[in-house]
Each structure stands twice: as C-alpha cells, then as structure tokens.
C-alpha cells in the first residue's frame, strides 16, 4: 500500500508532467510558427532541411544495397522493389556499434561501416550478384545540396565521431568503400531515417505524407507539395515546450545541453534516464527504497527504455517485471507499493512522451492540410513506438483529445524497418529520375 505522503508526491509529479489538450494546442501553435520560420531561413529550433527526395509513384523497380546508420545498431541490407506498389523484399544484418567507435575518429568509423557491408556481400560480385547502387540512411541533421551529398550539421544521440562535422558524409562513406575494395558501389541517395520511413510507406500508400521515428532519437518529416520535396524537420530540437525539473536536470548533465530538448523528453535514449532521476529524487527524500542502500541506480543512464516498456506491461506481468528490473539494481525486496509507484512513474513519463509526439504530428498535418480535408497516414518506425506497450495507444488518445472527431482522418501506422527499406526506395526514385 502506498503511504499518503508518497501519494501526494506522486500527484505532484503527475501534475508536473501533465500535457493537457490546452498545453498540446499551445505546443502545436508554437511548432507551426517554428516550422514556418525554419522554412524561411529565419532563426528557429526546427531546421526544416530539404531532402531532395520526392514521393515514390510505386512503379520504381530494381535491387539496391542499403546502409541504415543512426541508432544503436548499424544495419546493412539488400532491398528489392518489384513495382506496382508491391511489398518490398529485403534481407538485412544488424551490428551493434561500440561506444569506442561512435566517439572515435572518422576514418575508423566509416571503415567499420564499409567492413560490415563487405562481410554482408561476402564472395558475391558487385554488379553480377550484388547491386551497385546504394541508399544511405544517415539519421542525423545533414544539410544536403543534392540527393547524393550532404554535410553533417551536428551529431545527436550521443554520437561524437571526430572530424565529420561540416563534411560530406557520402564522400566519407565512398572513400571508405574504396579502401575496402568496394569502389564499384555508388551511393545514389542519402537520406534521414524519417525520410526513408515516409518513402517506404508511400511506395504502396499514396495517402502517406508524414514519416516519424520514435526510437533511440526522435524526428519527423513531411512531403511539401509546394517545394516538391520531403522536408526533414529535425523535430528533436524543438525547444518551446513545458518542461519539468527533471528535464532540466537531464539536459544540464547531457553532452549537448540546450539542444535536442524535445528528443530528451520523448526518445528511447532518455526515457529511462528521466524515470531514474525521479526515482533517485524520491529515494533521497525518503519516499522510496528507504531500506536499501543500493548505489547502482545512482549511475547515469543505467535504466533503459526497454526496462520502462517491460515495467509497463499490464497487470501482474508488469509488476513482476518491475521486481526483476529493481533487483538488477540491488533492490532485492521492494514492496508491492514501491513497485507500483515506480510503474506509475514510468507511465507518467511515457504518456507525456506520446502526447508530445501527437502534438508534433498534428502540427505537421495542419501545415499540410489545415482543415483536415482528407485522410492521412502517418508512418512511424522506431523501437519505442514499436515495442512500448502503451505508446501507440497514448498517441492515438492524445490525437483524439486535440482533434475530436477529426482524429478519424489520422491513421498512425507502424512502418517496420521503414528506414532501411526507404533507403532502397529513395535510391530507386533517383534512378527513375535519371532515366
């Protein structure tokens, strides 16, 4: 049973993290303003980067290699498009990128990527058994001046490879491919993961004009009809939101203070850390785990988004998972009251994350179609959206809170592996344009 004092503290936290429909509407207005400022090249927290990728027609065909880089895993793939909007065939292999690599030198980093591709290709011949064209999904803010070139503006999500900022990442990759004897492969499209997600879904669904990723990081893009290209919003950097004390704490102790503020409230890289900061605060004030002297939870970033997802499983399963997670951190005999308090904290934090994402999506849809004159599919990829037990549900309910009956016009769908598949689609679009 939860003590009255603990209940009060929990209510305080709930209030701090609450995002009411009115808060969401305010965020939507601010977001739209920032989008417009960004598009006009004025100072804005939203970079609004042209991608040089248009929407596919569904008739594109061909086989392509793909590299998907930007989360915890690096993925290499072979993607085959059969035209007529048919399902895209693909096979892929994932590799974990070690911490040493993502904070090391540019040469070593791109060599490692090229080496993984070389192993994936194995003994097959480029051109004969293996496609020569490659789509490169590079999920960081990049200023592109063509479909196949783009300079890194800044790293996000804890990456800090040296010597890449300001450089053309396609060149860096192609140089590394050459060093590995893969000089015959040409990067024919560079894109953000959100752009890949949108391209992959819209290959078979023309009502899809928005792509979102909610995984290690978070971001969105949309097809701008007037500009004739997909715009990468880089919404993770949006900074006009209601923030809680714990958000400030997290930001101050992060590698990029003041940046990526929306991402720090929403994405998988940070969700566990927000919950951990609350738990530590409540423990230090005597509301939680008074009988334990565990120092494990004092370590930054130990609580992962997967832990949050597991603890939020419904009913007994979630409670049992909470016990397992807490045991891992030395809290061997937590009470049911404590476990349920921790689960509620998870719920509060992930619910807010989902509602922030909903507000972002509504703002983007209003930009495309202010009066919701037609139906829209929003393609979403990323581990948080895919694996968290309540996230999609909370997002739908957030959309309904703001849009009411008009929410029926908005379909949010999982576009699994969209970022990798989209690399193939974008490479195919570039090919059909150059025919």
Under the binding rule (CB under 6 A), the answer on residue 144 touching ligand GLC is: no
DSSP assignment, residue 58? S
Convert residues 352-371 into a mask of x (bound to ligand GLC by CB under 6 A) and - (unbound).
Answer: --------------------
Closest to ligand GLC by CB, 234 or 251:
234
Under the binding rule (CB under 6 A), the answer on residue 194 touching ligand GLC is: yes
Please pick, among 68, 133, 180, 193, the residue that the annotation labels catalytic: 193
Under the binding rule (CB under 6 A), the answer on residue 139 touching ligand GLC is: yes
Closest to ligand GLC by CB, 185 or 269:
269
Residues 311, 321: Cα–Cα separation, whole Å: 5
Contacts of 156 (CB under 8 A, 6+ apart): 140, 141, 217, 236, 256, 259, 260, 263
Count helices and strands (H / E) in the chain.
15, 13
Shortest Å distance, C-beta 101 to ligand GLC: 17
214 within 8 A of 305, measured Cβ to Cβ: no
Stretch that binds ligand GLC, among 37-45, 209-217, 251-259, 348-356 (CB under 6 A): 209-217
DSSP assignment, residue 249? H
Give DSSP secondary structure letters for 360-413: HHHHHHHHH-TT--S-EEEEEESHHHHH-TTHHHHHHHHHHHHHGGGGGGEEEE
Under the binding rule (CB under 6 A), the answer on residue 265 touching ligand GLC is: no
For ligand GLC, the binding residue among 65, 190, 213, 271 (CB under 6 A) is: 213
Closest to ligand GLC by CB, 357 or 430:
357
Binding residues for ligand GLC, rule CB under 6 A, total 17
How many residues does the structure list for the chain? 435
> What is the footprint of ligand GLC within residues 45-74 (CB under 6 A)?
70
The number of beta carbons lying within 10 Å of the beta carbon of residue 119 is 12
Task: Give kind and range of the element (H or E) at residue 152.
Answer: strand 149-152
Under the binding rule (CB under 6 A), the answer on residue 219 touching ligand GLC is: yes
Would you call 193 a catalytic residue per the annotation? Answer: yes
For ligand GLC, the binding residue among 56, 131, 135, 141 (CB under 6 A) is: 141
Please pick, among 55, 133, 157, 264, the residue that the annotation labels catalytic: 157
Shortest Å distance, C-beta 140 to ligand GLC: 5
Sign of CA dihedral 243, 246, 252, 257: negative
Shortest Å distance, C-beta 106 to ligand GLC: 18
Would you call 366 a catalytic residue per the annotation? Answer: no
Cβ-based burial of 303 (10 A; exposed 0-12, middle 13-18, buried ≥19): buried
Contacts of 278 (CB under 8 A, 6+ apart): 13, 246, 345, 349
DSSP assignment, residue 124? P
> What is the footprint of ligand GLC within residues 377-416 (CB under 6 A)?
none
For ligand GLC, the binding residue among 54, 137, 188, 192 (CB under 6 A) is: 192
Which residue minimizes CB distance to ligand GLC?
A: 217
Hey, which residues are catalytic here? 157, 193
Binding site for ligand GLC (CB under 6 A): 70, 139-141, 156-157, 192-194, 213, 215, 217-219, 234, 236, 263
């Amino acid at each position: 049973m939860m003590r009255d004092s603990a209940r009060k503290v929990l209510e305080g936290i709930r209030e701090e993290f609450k995002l009411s429909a009115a808060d969401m509407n305010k965020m939507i207005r601010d977001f739209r303003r920032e989008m417009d400022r960004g598009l006009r090249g004025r100072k804005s927290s939203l970079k609004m980067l042209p991608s040089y990728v248009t929407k596919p027609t569904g008739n594109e065909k061909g086989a392509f290699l793909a590299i998907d880089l930007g989360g915890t895993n690096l993925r290499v793939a072979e993607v085959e498009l059969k035209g007529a909007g048919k399902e895209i065939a693909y096979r892929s292999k994932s590799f974990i990128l070690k911490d040493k690599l993502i904070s090391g030198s540019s040469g070593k980093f791109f060599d490692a990527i090229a080496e993984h591709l070389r192993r994936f290709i194995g003994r097959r011949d480029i051109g004969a058994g293996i496609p020569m064209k490659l789509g490169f999904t590079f999920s960081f803010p990049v200023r592109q001046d063509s479909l196949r070139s783009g300079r890194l503006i800044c790293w996000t999500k804890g990456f800090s490879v040296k010597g890449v900022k300001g450089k053309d990442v396609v060149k860096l990759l192609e140089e590394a491919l050459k060093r590995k004897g893969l000089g015959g492969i040409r990067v024919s499209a560079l894109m953000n993961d959100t752009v890949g997600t949108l391209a992959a879904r819209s290959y078979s669904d023309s009502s899809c004009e928005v792509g979102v990723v909610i995984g290690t990081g978070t971001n969105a893009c949309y097809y701008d009809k007037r500009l004739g290209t997909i715009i990468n919003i880089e919404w993770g950097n949006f900074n006009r939101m209601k923030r809680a004390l714990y958000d400030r704490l997290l930001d101050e102790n992060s590698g990029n203070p003041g940046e990526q503020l929306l991402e720090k409230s929403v994405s998988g890289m940070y969700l566990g850390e927000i919950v951990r900061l609350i738990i530590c605060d409540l423990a230090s004030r005597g509301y939680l785990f008074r009988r334990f002297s565990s120092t494990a939870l004092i370590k930054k970033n130990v609580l992962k988004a997967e832990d949050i997802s597991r603890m939020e499983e419904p009913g007994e399963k979630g409670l049992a998972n909470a016990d397992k997670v807490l045991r891992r951190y030395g809290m061997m005999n937590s009470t049911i009251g404590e476990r349920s308090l921790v689960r509620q904290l998870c719920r509060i934090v992930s619910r807010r994350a989902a509602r922030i994402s909903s507000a972002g999506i509504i703002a983007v849809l209003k930009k495309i179609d202010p009066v919701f004159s037609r139906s829209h599919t929003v393609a979403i990829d990323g581990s948080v959206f895919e694996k968290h037990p309540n996230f999609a549900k909370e997002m739908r309910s957030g959309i309904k809170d703001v849009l009411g009956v008009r929410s029926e016009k908005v379909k949010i769908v999982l576009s699994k592996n969209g970022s990798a598949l989209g690399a193939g689609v974008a490479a195919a679009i570039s090919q059909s344009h150059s025919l």
